[in-house]
């Protein structure tokens, strides 16, 4: 049997670490998933075991190279953002990889914003709300101020996706998708690092920037390795290569993130207060985004409904949209309560999506992730947006596929397929 030419993608989430293989038609042909126990930092806060992750990457790719079913033509990475790995002057890791959920020291945060023009000005320039450690630039600022001896030993700070590329190539680069993901490092009004980065000398600890469709280097001198990508920006790529007309993608999970690559208006103070921000696309363009914690709220609510009505936890998945239930709320059943929950979520979703919808000529809305399979969510969303085409989108491993597509020209001589995404149109019933 002839070996299959594939690209290997490491897709690194906070919980699941995946290795996936896509063939030249971008069909998922193999995958494996691993999880690692967390460590704790000096304050006993949970953090990633970066050494275990590094060892797993080396072992996994060596195993694949010995598998005669596949020919590895290229390797790339997608990974969660807001996480920096620090390397000393010998290329060794300076632990830990701090958790972006760790609370940020309030006095240090206060000092930073007093010194650099206030929260509003900083947020507006860097297209990011004030998010503590989720602003990864603030992690470096904290180390410089609280651990100056450790800071002096840092040669370079790499965002996690670019560190993973370094693991296989030994080359150190930054990329725009990681720099632009609510880091407070990048000044969107100047298209360069913010002045505070230079004033603090932090730019001297950051690697040279390369575009994410370029290579970081080669593994074993022959296999091209991509620069690595922030996973949210990677997940947008299959849509950007498939559709040229303006669209919004609502990526649903724990967070429901509305991404509009076609809205180029500057973030307002009001939008920032409502948790809007900008990402940077793989073509180095701003992507306006808004966030809603709807997936988490849904998860908590269905737990309560299961207890209240003595139903299985996943009973909601059996319920289909019924317009009559929403108009008749006199009889309180699980079905009516769940319809009302989804109606409440959709009201908030529309408010969130409208924040990035304004200022663009969007005619299509794509929904992927968990809620794309929820008939109530999809029907109600289509009723609110009667003037637009609302689609449930299905795409296997969007972040990983995006990372594969970003370096298409370096490994794949075939044309990108036109059927990467399966779409199902939802039409308003009203």
Domain boundaries, given as residue ranges, for the chain: 4-227, 232-426
From the list 314, 338, 315, 312, the residue with the least C-alpha distance to 325 is 338
The torsion angle over the Cα atoms of residues 131, 133, 139 and 142, rounded to 10 degrees, is: 80
State the CB neighbour count (10 A cutoff) for residue 278: 24
The CA distance from 240 to 158, in Å, is: 26
Task: Tell whether domain 232-426 is in CATH 3.30.420.40.
Answer: yes
Q: Residues 257-313: pLDDT tens digits?
A: 999 999 888 888 889 888 899 989 888 888 999 989 899 999 999 999 999 999 999
Contact of 234 with 240, CB cutoff 8 Å: no
- The C-alpha atoms of residue 404 and residue 158 are separated, in whole angstroms, by 21
Rounded CA-CA distance 77/372 in Å is 25
* Residue 220 half-sphere exposure toward CB, CA atoms < 13 A: 9
Beta pairing partners, 224? 218
CB 219 within 8 A of CB 211: no
Strand pairing category for 389-394 and 364-369: parallel
96 prior amide bond cis, ω within 30: yes
**What phi and psi values does residue 53 have, to the nearest 5 degrees?**
-65, -45
**207-242 pLDDT, tens per residue?**
999 999 999 999 999 999 999 999 989 999 999 999
Secondary structure (3-state) at 289: strand
Three-state secondary structure call for residue 330: coil
Structure tokens at 162: 């670019």
Tell me if 4-227 shares its fold with 232-426.
Answer: yes
- The one-digit pLDDT tens for each residue of the chain (430 residues) are 799 999 999 999 988 999 999 999 999 999 999 999 999 999 999 999 999 999 999 999 999 999 999 999 999 999 999 999 999 999 999 999 999 999 999 999 999 999 999 999 999 999 999 999 999 999 999 999 999 999 999 999 999 999 999 999 999 999 999 999 899 999 999 999 999 999 999 999 999 999 999 999 999 999 999 999 999 899 999 999 999 999 999 988 888 999 999 988 888 888 988 889 998 988 888 899 998 989 999 999 999 999 999 999 999 999 999 988 888 767 789 999 999 999 999 999 999 999 999 878 899 999 998 899 999 999 999 999 999 999 999 988 899 999 999 999 999 999 999 999 999 998 775 5
Give 206's DSSP letter.
B
DSSP state of 82: S
d(CA 19, CA 40): 25
Residue identified by tokens 């109530």 is: 376
CATH entry 3.30.930.10 includes domain 4-227: no
């Amino acid at each position: 049997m002839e070996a299959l030419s594939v690209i290997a993608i490491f897709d690194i989430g906070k919980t699941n670490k995946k290795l996936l293989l896509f063939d030249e038609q971008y069909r998922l042909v193999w995958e494996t998933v691993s999880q690692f126990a967390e460590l704790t930092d000096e304050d006993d806060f949970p953090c990633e075991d970066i050494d275990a992750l590094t060892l797993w990457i080396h072992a996994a790719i060596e195993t694949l190279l010995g598998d005669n079913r596949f020919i590895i033509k290229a390797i790339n990475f997608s990974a969660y953002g807001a996480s920096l790995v620090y390397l000393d002057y010998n290329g060794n890791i300076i632990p830990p990889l701090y958790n972006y959920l760790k609370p940020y020291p309030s006095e240090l945060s206060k000092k930073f914003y007093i010194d650099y023009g206030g929260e509003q000005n900083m947020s507006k320039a860097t297209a990011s709300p004030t998010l503590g450690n989720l602003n990864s630039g603030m992690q470096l600022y904290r180390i410089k101020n609280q651990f100056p001896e450790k800071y002096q030993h840092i040669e370079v700070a790499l965002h996690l996706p670019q560190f993973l590329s370094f693991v296989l190539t030994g080359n150190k680069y930054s990329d725009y998708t990681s720099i632009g993901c609510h880091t407070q490092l990048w000044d969107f009004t100047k298209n360069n690092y913010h002045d505070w980065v230079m004033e603090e000398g932090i730019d001297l600890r950051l690697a040279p920037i390369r575009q994410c469709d370029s290579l970081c280097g080669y593994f074993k001198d022959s296999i091209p390795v991509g620069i690595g990508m922030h996973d949210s920006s990677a997940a947008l790529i299959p849509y950007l290569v498939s559709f040229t007309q303006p669209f919004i993608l609502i990526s649903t999970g724990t967070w429901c993130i509305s991404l509009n690559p076609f809205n180029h208006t500057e973030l307002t103070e009001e939008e920032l207060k409502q948790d809007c921000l900008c990402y940077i696309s793989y073509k180095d363009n701003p992507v306006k985004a808004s966030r809603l914690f709807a997936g988490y709220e849904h998860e908590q609510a269905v737990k309560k409904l299961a207890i209240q009505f003595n139903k299985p936890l996943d009973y909601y998945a059996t319920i289909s949209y019924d317009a009559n239930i929403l108009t008749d709320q006199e009889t309180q059943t699980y079905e009516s309560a769940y319809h009302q929950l989804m109606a409440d979520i959709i009201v908030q979703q529309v408010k969130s999506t409208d924040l990035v919808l304004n200022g663009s000529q969007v005619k299509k809305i794509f929904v992927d992730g968990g809620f794309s399979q929820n008939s109530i969510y999809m029907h109600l969303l289509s009723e609110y947006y009667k003037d637009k085409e609302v689609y449930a989108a299905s795409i296997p491993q969007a972040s990983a596929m995006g990372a594969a597509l970003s370096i298409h020209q370096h490994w794949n001589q075939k044309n990108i397929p036109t059927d990467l995404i399966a779409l199902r149109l939802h039409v308003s019933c009203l």
